[in-house]
Amino acid sequence: MKPDTEKLVEDFLAQTDDLSDEITEDVREMLGVVPFIFGVLRKRPEVFALSALADYRISRPDSLDPKVAELVAVAAAAGAGAESCLKVHMGAALKEGASPEQILDVLLIAGMIGKTRILATTLRQFRDVCGEGGGGRE
């Protein structure tokens, strides 16, 4: 690493405890809770600060308003099967002004995509093994 870059990184890492506290409070305000993983990752302040700061910036892009960003997070959590994240982001979406109906629609869309992913994969295998018609009614 170039000396100037090394110095910048060292300066950043020297502030990880303070940054970690501030990021945690910002996330508590944004989500209404502090995610479980924060407690574990904070045992490694340099990793926590870098990871949480990146996640924080990613979760609130300039191109999306906070409600839309949280609805996207709900869909992603549903698709990933991340139950704890799903609960947190549903609460955050409500906090940002999403209605229960909007959250339900996001979950239904995520479920439909999940079903489609399973069917696309399995039906291709079915076709490869059983042929185009599959032996059923045409």
Query: How far apart (Å, rounded) are the C-alpha atoms in residues 132 and 97?
Result: 48
For residue 17, give Cα distances in angstroms to 20, 34, 44, 137: 5, 16, 10, 66
Q: Where are the domains of the chain?
A: 1-59, 64-131
- pTM as predicted: 0.82
Q: pLDDT tens digit string along 32-60?
A: 999 999 989 999 988 998 999 899 899 99
Query: How far apart (Å, rounded) are the C-alpha atoms in residues 97 and 115?
Result: 28
Q: pLDDT tens digit string along 9-21?
A: 899 889 998 889 9
